Amino acid sequence: MNATETRRSKIIRKVKALGFVSVSALSEELKVTSATIRSDLNALEQEHIVIRSHGGAIPASSPVTNLREDEKAKRNMDLKLRIAAEATKLVKSDDSITIACGSTMLAFANALNPQGTLNVLTPSIRIALSLVENPNVNVFQLGGMIDSFTYSSHGQYAEKGIEMFHSNKLFFGVEGFDTKVGLSCATIAEADITKKMIQAATQIVVLADSTKFRRRGFCNICSMKDIDILITDDGLDEKAREEIQSLGIKLIIA
């Protein structure tokens, strides 16, 4: 085994063990340049062993697990804040929107500075609490069973409640997005309520950082052709951007 093969084997073991490796950390540990590491990661991606993500790579078969919202909030928060700030530009004066649950959605809700009166429908207790004291926001909280992982309502009562409303825009996050297999999440309850929210909105907006590209959650939500706008970060390479835009999706890079 030559030096390149040895180095790449170490990278594969590292990414499988940690779930994510950064270019800078690998460069320092393996005593090679960042350019060499990027070349290694590109080669491993061509072999479908890893997926390039913001500043590094994740395993190509990276599993999606159902984590508590507090844990999710610790991951890629800088990217989530950038994406959230970009998403607020889509909210117009006197708008009516639906905001799903999740750490990216909470960052989005916290970044809102509505003009006029904003109507917000949400299953998330945390999002409702973050907006309820804003005098420019009318908050409509969906009822139902509360999920202890997401602090949001789900089930038949929440889904029935959605039928009473129609919003101009739905904002939701995903655990994985892929041009072939679509958008996915970790649980059937989240998939079901998201499908209902999609049916009750005019424009569908997905907020997802680039580390979720090519990942697959346990439950399918919809095809990527069913969404109108995807807001992500600059970790998405040019080929991936072209794939997404070829589906007629407006791609916004935060």
| Nearby residues of 184 by Cβ (< 8 Å), 6 or more positions away | 64, 174, 175, 176, 177, 178, 191, 215, 216, 217, 218, 219, 220, 221
**pLDDT tens for each residue of 195-229:** 999 999 999 999 999 888 888 888 999 999 999 99
78 versus 128: the higher-pLDDT residue is 128
Residue 73 lies in a domain: yes
Is the pLDDT reported for residue 62 higher than 60? no
Domain that holds residue 8: 3-59
| Nearby residues of 162 by Cβ (< 8 Å), 6 or more positions away | 121, 142, 193, 196, 197, 199, 200
Is the pLDDT reported for residue 71 higher than 60? no
| Location of structure tokens 């009562």 | 157
pTM of the predicted protein model: 0.75
Residue 64 lies in a domain: no
Domain CATH number, residue 210: 3.40.50.1360
**Same domain flag for 110 and 29:** no
CA–CA separation, 168 and 114 (whole Å): 15
251 versus 78: the higher-pLDDT residue is 251
Domain CATH number, residue 31: 1.10.10.10
Residue 92 lies in a domain: yes
Q: Please tell me the predicted confidence (pLDDT) of residue 227.
A: 98
**Same domain flag for 94 and 197:** yes
CA–CA separation, 182 and 145 (whole Å): 27
**Same domain flag for 151 and 200:** yes
**Same domain flag for 169 and 220:** yes
Q: Please tell me the predicted confidence (pLDDT) of residue 141.
A: 97
**Same domain flag for 78 and 16:** no
Q: Please tell me the predicted confidence (pLDDT) of residue 64.
A: 54
Residues pairing with 124 in the sheet? 152
**pLDDT tens for each residue of 149-171:** 889 999 999 999 999 999 999 99
Split into its structural domains, the chain has a count of: 2
**Same domain flag for 171 and 217:** yes
Q: Which two tokens stand for residue 130?
A: 């973050």
CA–CA separation, 37 and 17 (whole Å): 18
